[in-house]
């Protein structure tokens, strides 16, 4: 079993998937990679809140999300910045009660909310996280598809 706190050894995605041992982890990563045509970047974070190896997904230089692996589940960080705030708040009433609670309990700093969302299954919260990531997607991607 890998040690996510060991800065000396960078695990690959398969090793992290084995560590998490949750079938939705692979589904989630695959969905992000396929939908946004991006690759994961595995990095070590020294942040006191979530120290250890994490997985970042970016598109056109913009962070889509960061995944913090845990045993049996994973936490997804989605940042809601000033550009996304109105759109997120417009879809929030359609989101699960848990996502609404996380949004309202997360303080705003520098015009951003850093939403830390635990995913254990493929239910409503999983769907809502994908919806929030879609809002984060750089808008020039839409222009390229026209």
* Residue ranges per structural domain of the chain: 13-145
State residue 34's pLDDT score: 97
Domain 13-145: which topology? 3.90.1150
The pTM score is 0.91
Q: Which of 107-142 are b and which e, b meaning 16 or more Cβ less than 10 Å from the residue's Cβ?
A: eeeeeebebebebeeeeebbebbbebbebbbbeeee
Distance between CA atoms of 13 and 3, rounded to whole angstroms? 13
Residues 8-18 pLDDT 10s: 999 999 999 99
pLDDT at 117: 98
Average pLDDT over residues 45-71: 92
pLDDT per position as a tens digit, 90-143: 999 999 999 999 999 999 999 999 999 999 999 999 999 999 999 999 876 444
């Amino acid at each position: 079993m890998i040690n996510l706190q060991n800065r000396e050894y960078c695990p690959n995605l398969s090793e992290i998937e084995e560590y998490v041992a949750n079938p939705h982890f692979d589904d989630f990563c695959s969905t992000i990679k396929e939908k946004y045509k991006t690759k994961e970047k595995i990095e070590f974070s020294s942040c006191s809140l979530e120290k250890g190896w994490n997985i970042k997904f970016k598109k056109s230089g913009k962070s889509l999300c960061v995944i913090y692996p845990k045993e049996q589940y994973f936490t997804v960080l989605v940042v809601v910045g000033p550009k996304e705030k109105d759109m997120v708040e417009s879809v929030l009433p359609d989101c699960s009660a848990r996502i609404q609670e996380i949004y309202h309990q997360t303080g705003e700093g520098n015009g951003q909310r850093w939403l830390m969302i635990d995913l254990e299954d493929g239910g409503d919260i999983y769907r809502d996280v994908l919806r929030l990531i879609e809002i984060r997607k750089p808008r020039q991607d839409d222009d390229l598809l026209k």
